[in-house]
Chain A
Amino acid sequence: MTIGRARAALSLLWVGAGGPLLLLMVARSVTGFYGKDNNELLEVWAWVATLLLPMLGLIVAAWSAGGSHGDDKPVRSMAVFWGALLFSAFYLATLYLVVVLEPPAPDPWATVFRTSGWYLGFLQALVVAAIGKFFIENVH
């Protein structure tokens, strides 16, 4: 697999799954799904800002920084690529799981998001490591 294809696959996963999640959070904020209290809305956007936006930013930055130079060269390690892809998919699925399970959960939504940050932060570190290794390894 070429670097360009691998990068496109990662981008597709992150933009394709992260983008709709971001739009959903925007729509819910506008309609008052998370209340009208500014402090409570801040809780939601702190969750988005720390757990979703950095990764989307990293992917977009990798595109613009890498350009198309060296895109047709083969990926150095397929294991690293698959690791980055699977960790990303697992992490995104966990983000969705929190958003989907929050409405029926009995706890206040601010508590659900805040407590999810504890384990999602740990997962995010693994994803950053995997994606970072992939991009650094394939810089030519």
Chain B
Amino acid sequence: MTLPESAFDRTAMRTLKQAAETIETALRGAGFGDWGYFSLPEEEDGFGLVTRIEQINDGGKPLEGAARWLMRPYAAATMTPLQSLTSIRRPTGRYRVFMFVLSAKDTVDNPTAQATMPLAQEWNRLGQPRLGQKIAALPMTDRHAMTVRVYEFEQADKIPAVFEASSRWTAVEHLKAAGIVLPGVK
């Protein structure tokens, strides 16, 4: 899913660094402490930022405390022996990753159809903690636009995760549920 480009107010951002700082501030406010920056393929004046994978509940809100960052379904890690003996279905968990893309290219809204949990973990592992100085100093232009992609996965414990190609929530609802407040996004 993508955020409508017009929904992101970038008037106060003169450089890509300021844009990155705006996103970082919004992420910190939502309880994120880790994210990773990426350079964009075939584009030098833009960047991608991927958030840490978070576990969410059926309402789209992040799980409380450390459970938010568990890579196992929370229900699986907290099973009682009785549940463990009588259950005939694996506990499932829902996971979410936000991908912010600031680009000056006319990007096509084409979220990765083959997104997988291991791939999202790879993004988390390979992303740089800071925006490169060269990119950070670049000016924001009229051509720059922000796209937010939301990747949602459902995973039954110990069974490969399934990518939710069609979420029940919009990108804006995901941002709200996560507590990420971006300027201009209502």
Contacts and interface: CB of A to CB of B under 8 A. Distances in A.
Interface stretch (A8-16, A66-74, A82-90, A98-106): A98-106
A103 B87 contact: yes
SS class, residues of chain B in contact with chain A: loop
Contacts of A109: 158
A28 interface: yes
Q: Interface residues of A toward B: which range?
A: 10 to 19
A96 interface: yes
Given A96-B85, A109-B158, A104 B76 contact: yes
Contact of A104 (B84, B88, B89, B159): B84
Interface in B43-93: 72, 76-79, 81, 84-85, 87-91
Interface string A25-65: 00110011101000000000000000000000000000000
B89 A108 contact: no
Given A35-B159, A108-B158, A109-B158, A103 B88 contact: no
17 contacts: A24-B85, A24-B88, A27-B88, A28-B88, A31-B89, A33-B87, A33-B88, A33-B90, A35-B159, A101-B84, A103-B79, A103-B84, A103-B90, A103-B91, A104-B77, A104-B84, A106-B72
Nearest to B157: A103
B81 A100 contact: yes
Contacts of A28: 88
Interface in A98-132: 99-104, 106, 108-109
User: Which A-B residue pairs are the 4 nearest by beta carbons?
Assistant: A103-B84, A31-B88, A27-B88, A104-B79
Contact of A100 (B85, B88, B158): B85
Contact of B76 (A24, A101, A103): A103
A10 B8 CA distance: 73
Nearest to A110: B158
Given A33-B90, A99-B85, 16 more contacts: A31-B88, A31-B89, A32-B89, A33-B87, A33-B89, A96-B85, A100-B84, A100-B85, A101-B84, A102-B84, A103-B79, A103-B87, A103-B157, A104-B78, A106-B72, A109-B158
A117 B85 CA distance: 19
Contacts of B85: 24, 96, 99-100
Nearest to A107: B158
A99 B79 CA distance: 13
Contacts of B77: 104
A35 B159 CA distance: 6
Nearest to B156: A32
A108 B76 CA distance: 13
A31 to B, nearest CB: 5
A109 B90 CA distance: 11
A59 B157 CA distance: 36
